[in-house]
């Protein structure tokens, strides 16, 4: 019997989520508002911001964009975040990363009110994940990955899950979310020796490094679920971390790049903004 690999349509899933979210927002008395801070003129950051703004507009979320030159001082950025924290009309705050070298990125993240931290990077929100407390805001990419896994009806309890990449954008929060589902989780990083020894044992493989071609066919277990959260540009083409065409020959489910995790990340950002607004108005159901 010929092997069949199913490509997960993250774009379609994200569109369904955004359609449902738009209905909720249109029927609610308060319109969510997201403040987006962009520092400098990095072309990729500017593109990401435009994607996010467009998606917000489509579901009915107001966007306030605040732009600074890349020579901004730490104190000026801190003052802006403090103002947004105290602005009751602003429900979500997003600081587009990366920030210039003179800015203490971690300190900026820590200054954001955890209830307005729609990226979910604040230590309090990460701590809630690790403590299996569901009242915080979850980082958009890991949250989107979990929804992708749920969409294919894949049970995580007792499964071997390998996460390649230990950054705070994907790898670290993924660890907590997967543990909360009672998966057996291994996190690999740049110091891991013989990474294939781990990936070949993965029922579910999540990759989020940003290194094209990092994961090849001979590193993937037959009939595994492979989630590619990496993103890079090669010869003006957007690609992920996996050798997609070859891995499709052995995996059961694979996310494409583009069209997989990316759209779900934006959908989860919108959902987080809605959740943040509901939390700030005292609603328990998000």
Q: What is the pLDDT of residue 199?
A: 98
Q: Counting Cβ atoms within 10 Å, is residue 202 exposed (0-12), middle (13-18) or buried (19+)?
A: buried
Q: DSSP for 173-228? A: HHHHHHHHTT-EEEEE-TT-SSTHHHHTT-SEEEE-S--TT-B-GGGS-TT-EEEE
Residues identified as active-site: 52, 96, 119
CA-angle at 273, arms to 279 and 83, nearest 5°: 85
Q: What is the pLDDT of residue 286?
A: 58
Domain locations in the chain? 30-114, 139-262
Model pTM above 0.85: yes
pLDDT tens sequence for the chain (286 residues): 679 999 999 999 999 999 999 999 999 999 999 999 999 998 888 988 999 999 999 999 999 999 999 999 999 999 999 999 999 999 999 999 999 999 999 999 999 999 999 999 999 999 999 999 988 999 999 999 999 999 999 999 999 999 999 998 999 999 999 999 999 999 999 999 999 999 999 999 999 999 999 999 999 999 999 999 999 988 889 899 999 999 999 999 999 999 999 999 999 999 999 999 999 998 876 5
* CATH level 2 (architecture), domain 30-114: 3-Layer(aba) Sandwich (3.40)
* CATH level 2 (architecture), domain 139-262: 3-Layer(aba) Sandwich (3.40)
Q: What is the pLDDT of residue 266?
A: 97
Same fold, 30-114 and 139-262: yes
């Amino acid at each position: 019997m010929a092997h069949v690999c199913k490509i997960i349509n993250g774009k379609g899933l994200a569109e369904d989520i955004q359609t449902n979210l738009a209905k909720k927002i249109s029927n609610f008395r308060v319109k969510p508002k997201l403040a987006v801070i962009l520092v400098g003129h990095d072309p990729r950051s500017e593109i990401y911001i435009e994607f996010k703004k467009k998606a917000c507009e489509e579901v009915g979320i107001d966007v306030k964009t605040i732009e600074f030159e890349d020579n901004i001082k730490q104190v000026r950025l801190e003052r802006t975040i403090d103002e947004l924290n105290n602005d009751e009309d602003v429900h979500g705050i997003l600081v587009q990363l990366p920030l210039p070298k003179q800015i203490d990125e971690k300190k900026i993240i820590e200054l954001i009110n955890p209830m307005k931290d729609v990226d979910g990077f604040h230590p309090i929100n990460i701590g809630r994940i690790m403590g299996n407390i569901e009242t915080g805001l979850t980082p958009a990419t890991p949250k989107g990955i979990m929804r992708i896994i749920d969409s294919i009806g894949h049970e995580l309890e007792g499964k071997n899950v390998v996460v390649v990449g230990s950054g705070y954008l994907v790898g670290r929060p993924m660890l907590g979310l997967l543990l909360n589902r009672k998966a057996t989780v291994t996190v690999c990083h740049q110091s891991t020796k013989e990474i294939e020894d781990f990936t070949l044992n993965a029922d579910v493989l999540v990759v989020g490094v940003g290194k094209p071609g990092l994961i090849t066919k001979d590193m993937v277990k037959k009939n595994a679920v492979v989630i590619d959260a990496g993103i890079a540009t090669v010869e003006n083409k957007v690609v992920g971390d996996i050798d997609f065409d070859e891995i499709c020959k052995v995996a059961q489910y694979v996310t494409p790049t583009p069209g997989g995790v990316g759209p779900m990340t934006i959908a989860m950002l919108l959902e987080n903004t809605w959740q943040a607004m509901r939390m700030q108005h005292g609603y328990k159901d998000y």
